[in-house]
Structure 1
Amino acid sequence: MTAVVLRHPRTRVLVGGTVVAAVVVAAMTAALGFGGGESGATPPRDMPAATAHVVRRTLTDATSLSGRLDYGAAAPVVSRATGTVTWLPPVGSLVGRGGALLRADDRPVLLLYGTLPMYRALAKGAKGADVLQFERNLWALGYTGFTVDEKFTKFTTAAVKRWQHNLGLPRTGSVGVDQVVYGPGRVRVAQHSVRLGASADAQVLNCTSTTKVVTADVQTAEAGWAVKGTKVQVKLASGASVAGTVAAVGAGETGGSGDSGESSGGTSGGQGSDGESGSGSGSGSQNDTVKVTIAVTRQKALRGTDPGTVDIRYTAERRENVLAVPVVALLALAEGGYGLEVVENSRAGTGPRTRIVPVRTGLFAEGLVEVSGPGISAGATVGMPE
């Protein structure tokens, strides 16, 4: 192999972001009087202006993309109360177990936790899983004196009367479908769907979770890294970074339509919806995206951080225990590929000398490049550009 390097100035490859392979063509080589020698290392030449060492280390190719910090998708809250909406919680407020989601004819419609919708009235003698769900909530609110099971007994009735008394409601001992809305947990009011004075038997609110998450629409072709459990770093607008984990990978935009095609489960007094429409499998447009949701465990680190754009940094590739040199130390060889100018001590004590050694390149990351080849070892000295 013939290695060719121009002395004045020394020809090197500058790589930034995308590696541009500069190849010295054979015609130029002949015109400058190089080539035609024996294969192998080049003869001694001027010493490089600067040097660096070959190091052994782990290289990580990290990539960033833009995402958004918010509370996730909003879900509808559907009330089955009769009458007129007389009060709604302020947008941005939090509603927990036993809290009022609205008032209809000045009576509260309360949030309880559970997955079953409130599909029937509950009273003494009722049995079933919905009774168990209600009794668990009643017990969690501090009302005891009954057995938490699937039976609505006289003891449950007594506890319900105490609960109704504290709420300022008639002490009937039974619970109507218009009095309770079930949801998965505490919610944050995102939007009012009706105005005061509207019918209460309607979708009245849109609510989100109280937990902040990061979402990003990623080109499908570039989403190979987005696997549930993948660790990422999220850089906030303040400059601080927090750890995140890919929690879900779902459908995103298709064909640049601007519609995510994703619906969230509702918080409803009737049959709730819990659907998510996937992206179509038809055209496979280059504009197809996948929605990546990233969970942030340390929610305290997000306190005081308003919803907005964030940077998501993930590891695209990682190479452990490899030899690496600064990217700018690479030389373009006339016959193709890359080489390094290795500095060696002469045997006769006449001072150091250099030779060009061809190398194979691997991962480019962090301003370094993975290299390997005969004579390349950790601690070796290589030339750098002036």
Structure 2
Amino acid sequence: MTTKEEAEHLPAVVEPGGAPAVPDDAERTPAVAEEAAQPAAAEDTDPPTADRRKRRIRRTAVIVVIAIAVAAAAGLAATGAFSGDDGPATAAAPAGPAATTKVQRMTLTSTETVDGTLGHGKPTAVTNGSAASASGQSGGGQAAADSEFITWVPGEGDTLERGDTVYRVNERKVPLLYGSVPLYRTLEQGSEGSDVRMLERNLADLGYDGFDVDDEYTYGTAQAVEEWQDDLNAEETGTVRPGDAVVASGARRVAELKTSPGAVAGGEVLTWTGTERIVSMDLDPQHEDLVKEGSKATVRLPDGSNVVGKVTDIGTPASDAAASGGGAGGEGQGADEATLPVQLEIDDQKKLGRYQAASVDVILEADSRRDVLAVPVNALMARPGGGYALEVPKADGGSDMVPVELGMFASGLVEVKGSGIKEGMSVGVPK
């Protein structure tokens, strides 16, 4: 038996690394360490190094087992064992297009958008002592005498119709007649011509009778004229002179007054326009082939709504310099600024809402292709080496690239042709 004193003088056990082995008991609490300092029991015959080796082996074994368990857990997690999936892992499905659209069969139309102006058209002048043409322009005529005065004018914005008074001279009414032939001569019994027919048509529409509407100014016509002159507070002569009435193609809207009651008669009385709102545009001559009389166009209003317009008048190309009277020696740009005046009428005036004057867009048809297959432009896929293809999805979730030939582009769509491209088939587009 080794006593306590002998144990204290035993040499320390040196590990193969050369450092003294530190008993595990040194890591315990002070109470346990103090107990370990007592003499070892006689039946404890195993050397201290053997105990340490056994403990070290046990620790190493525990570490290895833990490492294996961690690795196994990681493997199970990777295979989905913890997710409840008992089946074998499957390969990723082939990727198809993010979204699809349909190939359409349609009429594809390309357009050209130009600036236009909504309004009542260019005002024309009405001159006292003359009869207006069908367009509202005044013609030459006898000037009013110095003793004659303007005694009444309508208001700006007023609408004048057949038989309405355009103005008064010495309280004599000067009415509006509808027609295409101005009063350019004195009409009396025995006169013949289209201006006679125009006068008789107006008299009949105003309720006067006793004559036939034809090209002959008869006694019956003269009697009807006298009755009409009485209603106008005019001298009953039975003849009609230039300046006794103003002729226009239809109802007119007073744009601006040029005189006022009390002024000496003679000269401009007012300017007027048609009553319906129209669209005017100055077209670049290179787009002249896009318009013809009777052709339709879309007019886009400031609020984004659309109305249909019809071309009713195409003027002659003219430059701003020519329109303003500039000569060859002026500073105008000449033919470089030449434009083609075009006028459109709007049949459905209600769709114009409350717009009286506004800037608008006029959308003209430039080209049209009927019965073609078309897709959105963003459905096109560039092919290596050039050209384009459509991505056609397959049943397995993948897709095929089908080469196509391109036709006309219009409104974000493009005409496509190609083997296997059919109406209604799905093609890929960005999501």
Give the TM-score taking structure 1 as reference length. Answer: 0.70
Give the direction of change, closer, same or farther, for the CA distance of 1:52–1:137 in structure 2 (3 Å limit): same
What's the RMSD between the two structures over aligned residues?
3.0
Query: Aligned in 2, Cα 1:48/1:137: closer, same or farther, shift over 3 Å?
Result: same
Identity, in percent, stands at 37
Aligned letter for 2:345? A
Aligned letter for 1:52? T
Q: Deviations for 1:37-77, whole angstroms, at most 9, x for unmatched residues?
A: xxxxxxxx952341425513213334433322212222222
Distance 1:120 1:366, change over 3 A: closer
Say how many residue pairs are matched: 314
Are 1:251 and 1:260, in contact at CA under 8 Å, matched by a contact in 2? no
Counterpart position of 1:121? 186
* Matching of residues 1-386 of structure 1 within 5 Å: 47-58=95-106, 59-80=108-129, 81-82=144-145, 83-123=148-188, 125-129=189-193, 130-254=195-319, 257=321, 259=323, 284-285=335-336, 287-302=337-352, 304-345=354-395, 351-385=396-430
Letter in 1 for 2:269: V
Distance, in Å, in 2 between the alignment partners of 1:90 and 1:258 is 34
* AA aligned opposite 2:153: L
Deviation at 1:260, TM superposition (A): 8.1
CA distance in 1, matches of 2:181, 2:426: 70
Per-residue deviation at 1:246? 1.9
Shift of 1:151: 4.3
Distance change in 2, residues 1:215/1:332 (3 Å): same
* Corresponding residue SS for 1:251: coil
Q: Give the number of the structure whose residues are more often strand, by fraction.
A: 1
Greater CA drift, 207-216 or 108-117? 108-117
Whether the aligned pair in 1 keeps the contact of 2:176 and 2:246 (CA below 8 Å) is yes
Aligned-residue offset at 1:103: 1.3
CA distance in 1, matches of 2:215, 2:369: 57
Distance 2:303 2:378 in 1: 33
- How many Å separate the matches in 1 of 2:426 and 2:306? 37
Quick check: which one's helix share is greater? Answer: 2
Asked if structure 1 preserves the Cα contact closer than 8 Å seen for 2:103 and 2:426, the reply is: no
How far 1:258 moved relative to its partner?
A: 9.2
Give 1:244 shift.
1.8
- Pick closer, same or farther for the CA change 1:340–1:116 going to 2, 3 Å: closer
CA deviation profile, 1:3-51 (whole Å, cap 9, x unmatched) = xxxxxxxxxxxxxxxxxxxxxxxxxxxxxxxxxxxxxxxxxx9523414
Distance 1:233 1:132 in 2: 38
Go from structure 1 to structure 2 and tell me whether the alpha carbon gap of 1:242 and 1:379 turns closer, same or farther (over 3 Å shift): closer
* Contact 2:152–2:260 under 8 Å retained in 1: no
Q: Deviations for 1:123-181, whole angstroms, at most 9, x for unmatched residues?
A: 4x342224333233222211112344444444333323322222333333333334222
Residues 97 and 399 of structure 2 are in contact (CA less than 8 Å); yes or no, is this contact kept in structure 1?
Answer: no
- 1:127 is aligned with what amino acid? S
**Contact 1:54–1:377 (CA under 8 A) maintained in structure 2:** no
Q: Which runs of 5+ in 2 are unaligned?
A: 1-92, 130-143, 326-332
Moved over 6 A (4+): none
C-alpha offsets along residues 192-232 of structure 1, whole Å, 9 cap, x if unaligned? 23344443232322221222211122222234322223222
Is this contact kept in 1: 2:166–2:173, CA < 8 A?
yes
Separation (CA, whole Å) in 1 of partners of 2:197 and 2:97: 80
Q: The residue matched to 2:289 in structure 1 has which SS?
A: coil
- Residues 283 and 174 of structure 1: is their aligned pair in 2 closer, same or farther, counting only changes over 3 Å? closer
SS at match of 2:175: strand
Q: Whose RCO is larger (CA < 8 A, sep 6+)? A: 1
Q: Say if 1:213 and 1:171 are closer, same or farther in 2 by CA, change over 3 A.
A: same
Q: Secondary structure at the match of 2:370?
A: strand
Calculate the TM-score normalised by the size of structure 2: 0.64
